[in-house]
Amino acid sequence: MTRTAAPAPTGTDDPALDVEGLCVDLSTPLGTVRAVDGVSFSVRRGRTLALLGESGCGKSMTALSVVGLLDPAARVTGGAVRVRGSDTLRLSPAERRKLAGPVLSIVFQDALTALNPVQPVGRQIGEAFRIHRGLSRREAREKAIELMTRVGIPEPRERARSYPHQFSGGMRQRLLIAMAVALDPDVLIADEPTTALDVTVQAQIMRLLRDIQNERDMALVLITHDLAVVAQRADDVVIMYAGTVVEKGPVRDVFSAPRHPYTQGLLDSVPEHAVRGRPLPAVPGSPPELSAVPPGCAFQDRCPLVRERCVRERPVLRPAGEGRTTACHFAEELTHA
């Protein structure tokens, strides 16, 4: 693979992507609700960060606001998203377009709908080269074939003429990855890249993502609700609940000694710990409606440790051990439990 993109001007210790205090409001018929509330995280090149949480906890919304694809009903109301030293939320659309692709890029969950059904895949993969590098159709095609070879599509030259529906789910996901890494981005966001695939293919896709990440020294933001994927693949994890970050830290530490009851609940619900014949353990209840998040801790209704203070006062993220933060008043109790 040729590396034509200039290396990041920032030093290696600076984060490739730095999200700070991101807030996203959603307008609904019942009023405005806050879907993402003060989310912060950062990731360096070569590292993998996992955004973990239940459906509707705001992880995809976070990803979409980072790449600037929010629905018109949603609006970023605060925070900053820094890549290569500029805040993408404050750039003009034309300046953003220059960053999209060479700096920041995304792999979607549903590969079939993310590919144009009436265009040969070769042309779609080559599109990025035609826009950012001004290559001719023929040159872009060669580049696309090169990428298809890299992501493991057999007979790429012939398959470049095929249409998306003629590929299997796993192959389509490979095509999406090819498209996303075409311009060698600093940061690759993968929004549940394996959710729609069966388990064996999931493993292949995750391996491919890892290989490409190592090869190109990218920062990877992995959005998922699959604890196993996080445990295997991520360096750091950000656990989200009802639009806020509840715990953050290195995966190894967080998973071995969670400092937030929600994290604890998630880990307990992994079937490996289950006893045959008993119901699977799960976090009781369901996340609060975004329009009716209680004034204190968002997790209070489902928390085994809930006290009077949790109802009154919303916990803020505070340090809890080396490189870790948690948003629980009683994190210490979990540590010693």
Partner 1 sequence: MSEGITMPGEEHSAGLGSGAEAAATVAGAEAAAPGSGTEAAAPASGAGAAARASETEAAARASRTEAADRASGAGAADPALAPGTEAAPNPRDARTSRWWRMLGRDRAAAVGAVILGLVALVALFGPLVIGDRAQRQDLDASLRPPSLSEGVYGLLGTDVLGRSVLARLVEAAATTLSVAVPAVLCSLAVGSALGLWAGYHGGRRESLAMRVADVILSFPSLLIAVVVLYVFSPSALNIVLILAVTRIPVYLRTARAEAAELRSRLFVDAARTFGTPSRKIIYWHILPIALPTLLTVATLDFCFVMLTESSLSFLGIGIQPPEVSWGLMVAQGRQYLQTAWWITVLPGLAIVLTTVSATVLAAWARIATDPAQRWRLTLPTKRRGASAAVPPELIP
CB-CB contact of 55 with 259 (8 Å): no
3-state secondary structure of 40: strand
What is the side-by-side strand order in the sheet with 104-107?
104-107, 187-191, 219-224, 48-52, 236-241, 244-250, 325-326, 318-319
Helix (H, G, I), strand (E, B) or coil at 107: strand
- State residue 239 phi and psi, 5-degree precision: -100, 125
- Produce one character per residue of 123-138: b if its CB has 16 or more CB atoms within 10 Å, e if not: bbbbbbbbebbebeee
Three-class DSSP category at 276: coil
Which residues fall within 8 angstroms of residue 142, CB to CB, at 6 or more apart? none
Helix (H/G/I), strand (E/B), else coil: 147 = helix
Measured from the CB atom, the residue of 49 and 107 that comes closer to partner 1 is: 107
Q: How far is the CB of 132 from partner 1 (least distance, A)?
A: 7
Q: Which is nearer to partner 1, 196 or 231 (CB)?
A: 196
Residue 141 CB, nearest distance to partner 1 (Å)? 12
CB of 121 vs partner 1, minimal distance in Å: 11
CA atoms 149, 153, 154, 156: torsion sign: negative
Closer residue to partner 1, CB minimum distance, 115 or 240: 115
CB under 8 Å to 58, separation ≥6 — which residues? 24, 35, 36, 37, 39, 240, 242, 243, 244
Which residue, 178 or 297, has its beta carbon nearer to partner 1? 178
Q: What minimum distance in Å lies between the beta carbon of 287 and partner 1?
A: 25
- C-beta of 182 vs 266, nearer to partner 1: 182
Within 10 A of 308 (CB to CB), how many other CB atoms are there? 8
Looking at beta carbons only, is 162 or 269 nearer to partner 1? Answer: 162
Q: How far is the CB of 116 from partner 1 (least distance, A)?
A: 4
Tokens of 268: 């307990």
State in angstroms the smallest separation of the CB of 122 from partner 1: 12
Residue 105 or 300 having the CB closest to partner 1 = 105
Residue 89 vs 231, nearer CB to partner 1: 89
Shortest Å, Cβ 255 to partner 1: 31
**Coil vs helix vs strand at 114:** coil
Task: Return residues touching partner 1 (CB under 8 A).
Answer: 67-69, 96-101, 104-106, 108, 110, 113-119, 124, 127-128, 131-132, 158, 161, 163, 165-168, 176, 179-180, 182-183
Angle 165-104-26 from CA coordinates, rounded to 5°: 85
Is 167 or 241 the residue whose CB approaches partner 1 more closely? 167
The distance of closest approach from Cβ of residue 173 to partner 1 in the complex, given in angstroms and rounded to an integer, is 13
Instruction: Report the nearest approach of partner 1 to the CB of residue 163 (Å).
Output: 4
